[in-house]
Amino acid sequence: MKGGIERTEIVVVGAGFTGLSAAHELSNAGIDFLLLEARDRVGGRVEAKRNGLGERIDSGGQFLCQDMPELMALLQARGKTLVETYVDGEFVTQPRMSAQQADRTYLGSMAIRDRMNAIAPDDPAIAGLTVAVWLDRQHDPDQAKAAFRSMIEGLWCQALEKLPLWHLIDNDRRITNEVSELQYFVRETMQSLADDLAGDLGDRVRLNTPVATIEHRPKGVRLVSARSAVEARAALVAAPPMMASKLDFSPPLPAGLRTALGVWQSGAVIKLLVRYPSAFWRARGLSGVVMWRDLPGLFACDASKDDGHAALVVFVGGPLALRWRELGGAALRAEVTTRLEDALGAEAADMLDFSCRDWTHDRWSGGGYSDLIIDPAATDAERIILAGAPPLHFAASELSPSFPGYVEGAVAAGRIAARKMISGLQSAIATSASGS
């Protein structure tokens, strides 16, 4: 520790959208705070980088839809431009099948999902079941079950064998959009919104400041980094549960809270953006959407910003991402190129740029776009984490009452946690002032 001790009212750890949203709530309430971020940027699992053409692209969380009110309002307030994702035309399934078969298979997979979500998460009949075991017991056609597996492993980036059925149902019920979550993306990149939010907070945001230790006592906290220490009345750990579990707390967290934080595992995802001279698939009456049933978790869709920016985004999720990350850059590109050629034709090899972001073992995020509970018995984990151990509080998109695992969920989670802390702080100040 090189610097001195700073003092503030509340310290927020993590400048993803959860931490940024919490910090804005604190700022609006006139609460003094510091926002500490380990990375050299804000945004967390949202990120932008330059591709080989010099274009700024979304290498992390990207898509949203009109049914995400918190995020839509932020983007509108910041004057961001929404690009509607191109979905006209046929989607392609691999291995190939007729359009009629593809529609039937897709509807079959959605019927499985609807049947799953009709089950109450606390139904004793599903206690201890993983999604894989439950799916195996269903009497649907194998093609529909394969499509369901690919869809879920692509969305949640986790093997169905690890995912408790009740947890998937509970998550799915909180994702309430009636239009596709791929409806829009942001022309300026989603990262630009995070940068704008951080810009409002000025020097309250401290980058390159990983927290080494969080010391907590009933009357306050002390957060130690390599640079300095910060003392405050309270702290909000705005990080995915698995990453929060790796922080050094002194004294150790209560046993129940330690256990609740330890039952999560990050998903695994590799995100690829492929640029083309033109959107050749559109000329063939295709939407650019490709789903591979034989490679669960592999999915592609159109991510073109306009006629002069033709692109496909390819997601590799779950166990497939863990296997393919071992290929290395050149072999991974060759594998993806072959798959796209098989699905869309020889023109798929005519790439202007191939950008890869491997999130599978990210230092500060853990893996995929969301953590998931992998212990079927951990039905109280979220409740315990949200209760925290005041003056220590926890928030993450995974714990949001709406859209867990999405940017929308992160915004909601940060705002809810900050409002709760503001209320507690104001009550404490009022009690102190009254001499009670």
- Among 22, 401, 357, which residue's Cα sits nearest to residue 189? 357
With contact defined as beta carbons under 8 Å apart, do 44 and 365 qualify?
Answer: yes
Q: Which two structure tokens, joined as six digits, stand for 65? A: 């839809």
H or E stretch covering 23: helix 17-28
Phi-psi sector, 226: left (phi>0), alpha (psi -120 to 50), beta: alpha
With contact defined as beta carbons under 8 Å apart, do 65 and 184 qualify?
Answer: yes
Residue 93 counted as an annotated binding residue:
no
Distance CA 64, CA 73 (A): 12
Distance CA 132, CA 160 (A): 5
- Among 348, 41, 305, which residue's Cα sits nearest to residue 191? 41
Start-to-end CA distance of the chain, whole Å, equals 38
Residue 211 counted as an annotated binding residue:
yes
Residue type at 240?
Answer: P
Residue 37 counted as an annotated binding residue:
yes
Phi-psi sector, 145: left (phi>0), alpha (psi -120 to 50), beta: alpha
With contact defined as beta carbons under 8 Å apart, do 233 and 7 qualify?
Answer: no
Distance CA 189, CA 192 (A): 5
DSSP state of 130: B
- Among 18, 47, 21, which residue's Cα sits nearest to residue 363? 47
Residue 315 counted as an annotated binding residue:
yes
Rg (CA), the chain: 22
Q: Which two structure tokens, joined as six digits, stand for 51? A: 């591709």
Q: Tell me phi and psi for residue 11, to 5 degrees.
A: -110, 130
Distance CA 187, CA 253 (A): 43
**Alpha-helical runs (H) found in 82-164:** 99-117, 131-136, 142-156
With contact defined as beta carbons under 8 Å apart, do 28 and 22 qualify?
Answer: no
With contact defined as beta carbons under 8 Å apart, do 5 and 228 qualify?
Answer: yes
Query: Binding site for substrate, residues?
Result: 315
Query: Binding site for FAD, residues?
Result: 18, 37-38, 211, 398
Query: Binding site, residues?
Result: 18, 37-38, 211, 315, 398
